[in-house]
A and B are shown apart, each in its own frame.
Chain A
């Protein structure tokens, strides 16, 4: 019994681990449809952005992030189009290699009470404005939470990410954001994989056990060596007397 228990424990741990990874996969189910019902537990926070020629941040509302709290948090974004004025400004900022910044307020996702959700401060991230323009406003925004559901960071990248200096002629390209949103929770780091290893070892042992060659007795396995040794010994012992005799004579 005492021998068995660690093994069982380790199996249990792998099972729980597999469960955990499943859970994580659910979390990472990146793309969430745009139309999301906000009835159960959903709440919205503003997503703000700022792009200024002099690089002094002036954040304005870009859209509303609808966050669904709970065990499997999800997010969707409803955002406005860029106005004519903003479009030209963004292009101007891109021309001087300014930054396009976004920010979201810090929130706590694992609670139902509205008062506990909001916290002091914002999380900010940036991307080069030219990348924003050249990718025709197609950005990927990920919101990172920690283990307990606090939002700890936000990141934004554009696809493609490079600034090649290509002109964006068509104003229409800069009208609508093509955003991809996701909430990323931390993954569970794996522990040492003892269960599988033990299983494998056991299989090997079984294989060994089944193998009839391994089960042969010592004499059955090495009879030829023993026989050879015996013959060799006999041969040498029969050759010895003359040598001894020699010594006696001298």
Chain B
């Protein structure tokens, strides 16, 4: 709300409230706030709010404004509350002063005021306020006025976010369940919304749908507000019907929602029907499924007549739906044809769906459209249209010739990017239909000069190499490219190398010099490891056994397939279940982007996840590019493309580093302290990772931090051979020393393997915990299966003890001094109960701790307390943080008190948790 200087101050406009920049304005405002004239008072509060919204600090007027709340005038009261809510966020302690007003207003005769008080209190995240909230909230939930009840329902969700235990103690969740059958539609809507929210934040299914709840929800569906209908439908979508009959019954109740003017209702109804259709299966219900399929098409198409923003969301969802159930929209391809005035983001999505729906029946129509799009203005759109023509060819055998005809026509236009894009897709067409359309090579060769993008060049060079025997001057063409070999992009260099070798094998006499030159360039001049490695392999192959080289290099390549259905079936199923959520827009499972509300105390740290997105994105584009080509079946890569194995420098060096560091090679191992095993926990279920289950844990080996990964191949048809790993920025600055995990031998279905990834501390990966908040124990990990190209994500809590270094024992005197120097207020303490017997004895505890580099400094009995003994421990992390702990044990009691002191207050909780976990284990 930046006021513009010189805004006319006259008139009845609210902007006059901004013009109070004179001296003593606060004093003036204060006088006005205490005025007895109601209008002056109201205007004064408005001025205060105006200042507040432009970011001025008016907190010094807090008590004066608060005084104004003592009024029966609801307009004034609302303004005061507006002010209060604002400071509730930035200065919660000030709001404590308002508690009395809140409590009083919560039993005001006017329902608007009662609701206002409850709503505002819920927004104030201060424990003291929360205490006072429970009473009025309990009353408000049973208030006679629906406006108050609906406000209270949402307030329960607010309270759950601050103090879940209070919600449980007070039985508010049960009350929310009662509200589902409330007589007022808004109350029902908010009741369902609150329950869904609590289920989501807590991870517990408080919205459990039983037979009676189901009936309540279905009954409410007809009465509810449009938003309430969305919440109910979303809850229904999570429910799994007992059998096909129940599914059909519910669908029947939901179907009328498809004709709602609010697209949100339509979309959620579609979601329910789609997920229940799975339950119905085929067989006896094939007819009902067919009928439903027919019913779903019109509302989906209608969504495309909404505002472009809705269209975009609908199209991203339809993209998933046509992959899951192609027949729903098979006859509707025309509605996805782009309109002249569609925004570009809508056009791009429509194009994607056109390719998915294209068939022998409609290909002529589609080609006509695509050809038209290729003359439009937007370069990205044109390129994508050209590419789409090629994809149609790859998809439809019988139409391939027509598609190629159109591509050739487009090449004739000589428009630079159209030609390049055409070359790129023609390469794919050659891979799909080998030895069928070589006649067009001549046309391509005429356009060599136009090519200046690496991808197009690489594609063209691949074509030259592959069909060298049919191109009279293949060697000359390659020779021309070789002149600029050193300046080329690595992708082009790799293709040049391969193409030259192919050319040589086909026509050895004339190209001997050339192949020698390329091999020299690749192995000696280049510092790209991929290129060098490939060069060496060819060299060795050619020098040892040229016939074998022929078999390998010129061998038959697998024919690529249509990639239109690109989403991996497991992921697709996950995403179809997520229709009408952000997940369905991003085509990523929710874990990949949702900031967990309850991940330790770092809820505020949104940056981290964004970074993860960045990292993965980059990774996809840069490091794994070659690999992507393999996955796509894209043509540029022959069998010797070792992109999938590309080992980056980082990986190589650290592996060697490890060898050098083995300290026990010659010396006697120290058997006294066996290296503790990692505690493994399941972190990734097969549904979201293409059939791979992952268990993860941390341990320290020879002073190095290792992330242990158990990889279990549950249902991935492709054996797991190579994985790439990346960590998001985390509180410990940990990052993998090498990004490659090689499974040797590859893990087939049903198999499993344990791999450990060394983690090193990298300050660039460190996320500082926000001041005054504990560091998050969570480490977010992204794994990419290099064979399938699938990226998946999980989070695992770090085992802090793994960071403790062997030199963590403090001198006794130092310990005492440090212990005393830390304020008792910074102490962290807690009680660990239900200890295993071994953990009640200090000697055994000390031994166990020592294995984890937690050192016993001293122990002594507690004076005047029979049977109690305290032990002091110290530990130091490899990063230099020192922690001191006092453990109190009592004979015959299987519990211990833990008290921890440290200057590194942010990590204190971590150290304490580590101690407690070790005690329990």
The answer to whether A and B belong to the same complex is: no
Chain B residues engaging chain A, CB cutoff 8 angstroms: none
Chain A residues engaging chain B, CB cutoff 8 angstroms: none
